[in-house]
Structure 1
Amino acid sequence: MLNVIIVDDEEFARSSLYFLLQENCENVRICGIAKSVDEARELLLNEDIDLIFLDIAMPGKNGFELIPDAKAHHAQVVFTTAFDQYALKAIKASALDYLLKPIDIDELRETVEKAAKLIKHNAPEADKSESLKQLASVLSDRSEIRKLSLPNGQGYTLIGVDEIIHIEADSNYSVFHLENREKITVSRILKDYEEILPDDQFVRIHKSSIVNLNYLKEYNSKNGLEVLLKNGEKIAVSRRRASVFVEKVKLYTSFTSEK
């Protein structure tokens, strides 16, 4: 049996993965569920854990900060995340595998089988390195991810990156303004999306705003620098971000004109 813990700050993600493991992986014993890195550290101290299913983007400490603890306790790590752009960093952190939410049952089974084989045979570092190479190969074969999975409380809403007009911060939430005029509010801070969206297309123009340059109609300095988007919305550009914004626009327009 594999002793497993689940680490995720989203209740739906925790319960969904718990159910999938219980129903599809007979060789798994779930020893605990944690909402944060600190809670996971407590579980590692009190249980002999073989495998950690670990979310990355969590409030406070992100999943990567648990890696040293996992290594110290000889536990394998499988990252579970809605952000595919973390893939390369996951490989560098020596993750056993990388599952994109919503988690596919067949991929989950394969991951558990892979973990069981490594742990059963006490695989040497060479075998683990080969496993990482295979993971890197699979991820590099994927075309650039152009979708986001936005948690909605009961599950996930899948949206295309190109559907996003702009994102605004609302305290610890982010509000997505979409091409179809729909708005989706997500319990993630704006910085999480600033880090994973393509930075040649999306620009943080204010502490509370990220805009998609695809929807930029004009910008001017009549009332301080502001942008006009194709949906008619006007958004101020902060002074400290103005020069970066202008440079990004220049690069973006020269790149799109070459296409």
Structure 2
Amino acid sequence: MSIESFGSRLRRAMDERGPLCVGIDPHASLLSAWGLNDDLAGLETFTRTTVEALAETVAVVKPQAAFFERFGSRGVAVLEKAVEELRSAGTLVVMDAKRGDIGSTMAAYAEAFLRKDSPLFSDALTVSPYLGYGSLKPAVDLARENGAGLFVLALTSNPEGSEVQHAVRADGRTIGATMLAHLAEENAGAAPMGSFGAVVGATLGDLSSYDLDINGPLLAPGIGAQGATPADLPSVFGSAVRNVVPNVSRGVLRHGPSVAALRSSAAQFADEVRAAVDAA
């Protein structure tokens, strides 16, 4: 029996639940804003509440692994439970770990998040290609084997990213454009959408000089607290806007610890994104 690809599952989830990814970022200031201590008990309460609010209602949830790893093995155990519960509820999990290395080390990172029997198995993983796109091959291969996906850092929203991503190669292409071209090759012929996406900031303004039509998803951080709005998406992403997965973290999470308020905020963002995409 063939495994359904991440791209296919993502397309369906976005169509049914709305094109939105909500981050789970339990950093100290957010725990405090919820009236929680910056400790394991606070992490557990924050995560349990967020999962209750988002499971079965949001298309994609993106836990930031670092905020769990800082509590050691017990924090990772909280993350494992969240991943299991979200995926059991039909919510796709993109693990935001931004792994990147070479050879056997990259293969080990891939096995941690993309091997079917791993307790951290996720529908997709964020990865860094800046040891060369070819260094991602172990993750690409394992993702294909297990029906998972990748989101490759291509045009990120942080100002420091431009010194690498906008650098021009000898062939005249920027590094960011080169990463997009590699992803288009990975996704060639895939339907309804490929499984190998790019991270492209929603705050970057006019990106018409880049070919974003990679036949794959574009994970777009920057909606909400970073200043971008759903209405900005068509002007930033152009003809690729239907494949954009906007990520909102603080814009939703600030409404906690109320489960109803978290759920309502996520639904409102999803509706606004859908309206912007449909009007494009």
Same fold (TM over 0.5): no
Task: Return the TM-score normalized by structure 1.
Answer: 0.26
Q: Which structure would you say has the larger Rg?
A: 1
Task: Return the TM-score normalized by structure 2.
Answer: 0.25
